[in-house]
Structure 1
Amino acid sequence: MPPLSLTARLALLFALLTASLLIVVGIVLGRAVERHFDELDAHELSAKLTLVGNLVREAGAGTGAGQRLDAAFAGQDTVGLLLRAADGTLLHAIQPGAFTTAQLAGAPLGRSGETWQVAQRQFIGREAVLPPDDEGTALRAAVALDISHHAHFLHEVRHGLWLGISAAALAAALLGWLAAHRGLAPLRRM
C-alpha cells in the first residue's frame, strides 16, 4: 500500500483534531444538560416534600390531610406520594403506580434521590421524615416524579448532538483536504 499523500495526511490530521475537539464539547454539553435536569428534579422533589409537610402540619395526620393532599396534587399525574406513619403503616397514597412493589410494601427511599423504573416509565424519588405534629406523631413522606420526558429529551439531544458532531467532523475533513490541496498546489507544480 503506497503511503498517503501529504495532502491526505494533513487533511486526516485536521479532521482528527477537529473531531476530538467536537467530541469533548459534545460530552461537556451532554453532561451539563444532564446536571441541569438533575438539579431541576432535586428542586422539584424538595418543593413537593415541603408542600406535603406544610399540608400535613396544617391539617394533622387524619383524613383532613389526605383530602388536602388530594386537592394539592390534583392534575399532577407525574407525581406520586406515599404518606406513612412512623411504624410504616400506609396512611395515604397518590398515584401509587409510580412506586415499585417493594416501595409500596414499605421499603424506604433514599434522602438524596433514587431512580427506578415501573412499566417503561422512569421515576426519581426521595423520602423525608416530617417533623412531629402537636401529638408527637412523626410521619414519612415519599415523593416520586415521572422523569420519562427528561430521559426522552436527553436521548434526543444526545442523538442530535452526535449527528451534528459527525456531520461537522466530515465537513472539517473535507475542508481540511481542500485547504491542504490548494495550499500545497505550488509544491506539486515544482
Structure 2
Amino acid sequence: MKALSLTSRISLLFAGAASLVLLITGFFLTQGVEAHFKEEDRHELHGKLELIQNLFKHAYRQNKLELLPQRLDDALVGHPGLAVVVTDATGGVWFATSGADFPRALLQACQTRSKGCAPGTLQEWMQAGKSYRSMAETISAGSDTSHTVVVAQDIQHHERFISKFESVLAIAITLAAFATASLGWIATRWGLSPLRQVTNMVAGISAERLSDRLPTTGLPPELKPLAAAFNAMLTRLDDAFRRLSEFSANIAHELRTPISNLMTQTQVALSSARGKDEYKEILYSSLEEYERMAQMVGDMLYLAQTDNRLITPGVEKVNLANEIQGLFDYFEAWAEERAVSLTQTGSAAVSGDRLMLRRALSNLISNAIRHTPPGQTVRVFLHSDADKAILSVENPGLEIPQAHLPRLFDRFYRVDPSRQRKGDGAGLGLAIVKSIVSAHGGTISASSTNEATRFQITLPAAS
C-alpha cells in the first residue's frame, strides 16, 4: 500500500480537525435552538394558562360561569396549533377547543396531579402523528369546585425548522471539510516548499560534491537544525572520504617501496651469476622487505578488526607499572644505542586485556624513544584518580603544531619529513594505540610545547 504524502496527510488532518470542530459547534447550536424553542413554548403556554385563569376568576366573580366557554373560544381565536382542555373535579371534559384530542392518560395524570403532570411542568407527547408540548394548572377561584386546565402547543413547525437546520448544517460541514482540505493542501504545499528546495539540493550532492553545503539563511526555523545537522554530516563524510583517499594513497605508497626494492634486488640477482654468499645476502635483504610488508598488513588487519569490534578485550587486573617496567627492559638496548634514558613514576591498575594494553604502551614508548634527541629522557607518569587511571608518556623534542595534534592518530599520517626517519614504520602505531584504548572504554589525547610532547591515556581504574 502506497503511503500518503506529507501534504495529503496534513490536508486530511486539517479537514478532520475542522469537521470535528464544526460537528461539535453544530451539536451545541442545535441544542441551543431546541432549548430556545422549548423556552418559547413554555412562555407561550404559561401565558395562555394565566389568561384562562383570569377568565375563570372573572366569571366566578360575575357568577357567569355558563358564559365562560364562549369567552374562552373568543380569547383563543388566532392561535393555530393551540389546544385547550378543561376538566372538572370528576374528570369529565368541561371545555375543549376544536381538534383537542388529548391522551386520556395525560388528562388523568393532570387531574390527579401526579409527578408526570405536576403544575408548571412542560410535557412532550405525540398524538395522531403530531408532536405537542403541554402544561397543566388547577384552577379554583371563588368556588369549592376546581377545574384542571391543560394547554398544548403543536410543535411540528419547530421540528421542521430543526430538521432543515440540521440538513443545512450537515451540507455546510461537508463543504467546509472539502474547502478546508483544499486550502490545507495549498497552504501545506506552499509551507513545505523550503523542504522541497532542501530535498532538491540534497539530491544534487554526490561523492564528488561533498564540499557543498546547504544554505541556512532564509530557511524556516524548523528546518535550520536539519540543515545544520546535514551540513555537519557532510563535513564528517567529506573528512572520511578525504582520509580514505589519503589512506589508499598511503597504502599504495607504503607498499610500492618494498615491492620496488624486491623487484630491483631480484633483477640485480638475475642479471649475472653470483656466489652463494651473495645470493644469501640478497635473500636476507628481501626477507627484511617481506617482514616490513607483513607487519604493515598485520597492523592494518588488526585495525580493521578493532574498528568492526571483532576483537573483544579480555578482563583481568593489569598493573601498568609492571608492564611499563617490562617494556623498559625490552627497549633498554635500543634506548642506550640512541643515548636516551627511560624513567617511570607513580602506579595504577586497570581492568582489561594485558597483551593489548602492552602493545599500546609499547607503541607509545617506542614512538617517544624514536623522537627524543640524544642525551634526553623519556618519562612515563602513572596516576589514579577516583575511578580513573591516567598514564602519560612524555618526550622532549620539536614542537608539533597544534593543527596536527588531532590527526596524529590517523593512519599513515605524517606531520612533516623532519619527524620521520627511514625505517620508522608505516605510521600505524598511534592509530593502533587509539583503537586499543577505545576498545577498553578509555580516551587518548596529545599535547605539545617547545619543551616536550605528551600523550595522555585515561582508562577506567580496576575495582
TM-score, normalised with respect to structure 1: 0.91
How far off is 1:59 after superposition? 1.1
Q: Match for 2:131 among 108, 117, 122? A: 122
> Could you tell me which residue of structure 2 aligns to residue 17 of structure 1?
17
Matched, 1:183 2:191: yes
How far off is 1:174 after superposition? 0.9
1:24-173 counterparts in 2 under 5 A? 24-60=24-60, 62-103=65-106, 106-108=108-110, 110=117, 111=119, 112-130=121-139, 132-173=140-181
CA contact (8 A) 1:115 1:123 kept: yes
- Higher relative contact order, chain-length normalized (CA < 8 Å, sep 6+): 1
CA contact (8 A) 1:98 1:123 kept: no
How far off is 1:51 after superposition? 0.6
- Secondary structure of 2:46's partner? helix
In structure 2, what residue type is equivalent to 1:147?
I
- Secondary structure of 1:115's partner? strand
CA contact (8 A) 2:101 2:127 kept: yes
Larger gyration radius, structure 1 or structure 2 = 2
Q: Aligned residues: percent identity?
A: 35
Instruction: Evaluate the alpha carbon distance shift between residue 138 and residue 52 of structure 1 in structure 2; reply closer, same or farther with a 3 A threshold.
Output: same
Q: CA RMSD in A?
A: 1.8
Q: Which runs of 5+ in 1 are unaligned?
A: none
CA contact (8 A) 1:82 1:96 kept: no
Query: What do residues 82-137 of structure 1 show as CA deviations (whole Å, max 9, x unaligned)?
Result: 11112212111113434235446x4437241111222332111011111x222222
How far off is 1:13 after superposition? 1.3
How far off is 1:166 after superposition? 1.1
How far off is 1:77 after superposition? 2.6
Greater mean alpha carbon deviation, residues 38-47 or residues 79-88: 79-88
> Could you tell me which residue of structure 1 aligns to residue 218 of structure 2?
none
- Secondary structure of 1:141's partner? strand
CA contact (8 A) 1:56 1:65 kept: yes
CA contact (8 A) 1:55 1:65 kept: yes
Distance 1:98 1:7 in 2: 62
- Secondary structure of 1:97's partner? coil
- Secondary structure of 2:100's partner? helix
In structure 1, what residue type is equivalent to 2:5?
S
Greater mean alpha carbon deviation, residues 145-154 or residues 86-95: 86-95
- Secondary structure of 1:3's partner? coil
CA contact (8 A) 1:98 1:144 kept: no
Q: Which runs of 5+ in 2 are unaligned?
A: 111-115, 201-463
Q: How many residues align?
A: 188
TM-score, normalised with respect to structure 2: 0.39
> Could you tell me which residue of structure 1 aligns to residue 8 of structure 2?
8
Distance 2:99 2:84 in 1: 7
In structure 2, what residue type is equivalent to 1:186?
P
